[in-house]
């Protein structure tokens, strides 16, 4: 079975990350069908380092965009499959140390908080208050986008991987990083000083190299 969606839409980095972790609903139930669950697991783990894919926890979606747990893993990685009700194709993986923060985002979405900035504000306030657990050290989110996943080949078409390294409450002064991107592919610090502070690493796309 081959799953292709429409070409990836152009979006800001904030919106792209939000799409990866913003379901319409949330739950721990079976997927639509066994075949669909297997497909979603196969595509979700494509964002992970190869050696960590087999034992990762995987969250997926129903046809209506409800978040479901497809597989309980045994390692320290969590992966999210592509949401069929959102534009473009995107999957992501991250360590369990930042799962409370990501899970809280899914819970807020399920409660009807559809504005991504409001979800950030609520989580940051909860983290500042000590009621939302945050990682004690860096936590890397692997974000993989493309035109779709071909399960017959086990490949993502036009795959493009970038990284968001969460370092809660990090500042430009402490990291030496700019709060804005300075050049193509250079790391920079997004949301500095907040619980959601993270280092963005976005390589130049192949067609952009040399421009």
Output the pTM of the full model: 0.81
Q: Does residue 193 register a pLDDT over 50?
A: yes
In angstroms, the CA 97 to CA 94 distance is 8
**Residue 54 banded pLDDT, cuts 50, 70, 90:** very high
The pLDDT assigned to 1 comes to 40
Q: Specify the range with the lowest mean pLDDT, choosing from 3-7, 118-122, 207-211.
A: 3-7
Sign for the CA dihedral angle at 141, 8, 118, 31 comes to negative
The pLDDT assigned to 63 comes to 79
**Residue 207 banded pLDDT, cuts 50, 70, 90:** low
How many helical (H) and strand (E) elements, i.e. helices and strands, does the chain have?
A: 5, 12
Do the beta carbons of residue 152 and residue 103 sit within 8 Å?
no
């Amino acid at each position: 079975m081959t799953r292709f969606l429409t070409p990836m839409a152009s979006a800001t980095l904030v919106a792209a990350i939000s799409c990866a972790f913003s379901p319409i609903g949330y739950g721990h139930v079976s997927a639509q069908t066994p075949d669909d669950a297997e497909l979603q697991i196969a595509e979700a783990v494509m964002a992970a380092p190869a050696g960590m894919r087999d034992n990762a926890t995987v969250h997926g979606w129903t046809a209506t965009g409800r978040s479901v747990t497809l597989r309980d893993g045994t390692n320290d990685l969590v992966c999210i499959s592509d949401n069929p009700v959102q534009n473009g194709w995107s999957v992501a993986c991250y360590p369990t140390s930042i799962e409370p923060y990501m899970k809280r985002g899914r819970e807020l979405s399920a409660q009807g908080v559809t504005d991504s900035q409001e979800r950030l504000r609520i989580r940051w306030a909860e983290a500042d208050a000590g009621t939302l657990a945050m990682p004690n050290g860096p936590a890397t989110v692997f974000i993989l986008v493309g035109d779709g996943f071909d399960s017959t080949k086990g490949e993502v078409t036009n795959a493009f991987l970038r990284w968001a390294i969460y370092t809660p409450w990090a500042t430009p002064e402490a990291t030496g990083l700019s709060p804005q991107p300075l050049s193509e592919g250079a790391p920079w610090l997004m949301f500095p000083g907040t619980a959601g502070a993270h280092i963005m690493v976005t390589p130049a796309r192949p067609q952009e190299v040399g421009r």
